[in-house]
Amino acid sequence: MSLPDSITIGRRSLLGAFAATAITAAPFFSAAPAYARGAGDIRRLKFYSGRTGENINMIYWIDGEYVPESLAEINHFFRDWRNNEVHRIDTRTIDLLAATHSILRVSEPYMLLSGFRSRQTNNMLRARSNNVAQNSLHLTGEAADVRLRSRSVNQIAQAAIACNAGGVGRYSRSDFVHIDCGAVRSWGR
């Protein structure tokens, strides 16, 4: 599936992307709490980590409310895997990742390359590469670097840009997309 270069999506369209997948997702999530089963308005997050071997596939938002237990699990999953430091992941980033996934209409989970980064890890990465920002949004739990096997860097980036809700960086040589909840902007190719 390729996305047109000129996609524009507003808040209503973004909410529609969530709603379109909510009804079909709810009945198949057997681990959902009893109050979530059959709910019509849900948001889901699907990830795996090649670094830790962990997977998450969960409903994190139901009828306008975030599920605290799910957010805690997301925070742990997005931790700095080098030192196991956990930080709160901004729900705007989680929503942007989920909306992008929904727009792409894929069933496979994202591969998480980098979520939260401790200052120590960020400094180590900066020493190795000029592409790591000193005050990266990874430090505050506001960014994630992801990839999908079934979609190109450009396809993922176009879907994230269509959300018009944060920063999107294309890193084609390294085969990943940076998505954050900061100012709306894009870079890379």
Question: What's the CATH code of the domain at 71?
Answer: 3.30.1380.10
What value does the mean pLDDT of the chain take? 84
Number of structural domains (the chain) is 1
Q: Is residue 2 part of a domain?
A: no
pLDDT band at 40; cut points 50, 70, 90: low
170-138-128-53 Cα dihedral, nearest 10 degrees: -90
pLDDT band at 115; cut points 50, 70, 90: very high
pLDDT of residue 154: 97
Q: Is residue 148 part of a domain?
A: yes
Least confident of 70-84, 112-126, 159-173: 112-126
Element (H, E) at 113: strand 110-114
Q: Is residue 1 part of a domain?
A: no
Strand order in the sheet with 110-114: 65-66, 55-62, 42-48, 110-114, 143-147, 176-180, 167-171, 185-188
Percent of the chain having pLDDT more than 90?
69
Q: Is residue 52 part of a domain?
A: yes
Q: Is residue 139 part of a domain?
A: yes
Q: Is residue 6 part of a domain?
A: no
Closest CA to 137 of 66, 99, 185: 185
**Amino acid present at 75:** N
Question: Is the confidence at residue 55, as pLDDT, over 90?
Answer: yes
Q: Is residue 3 part of a domain?
A: no
How far apart are alpha carbons 78 and 113 in whole angstroms? Answer: 9
pLDDT of residue 133: 81
List the domain range (segments joined by +) for residue 155: 11-188
Q: Is residue 120 part of a domain?
A: yes
- With tokens 């890193």, the residue in question is 171
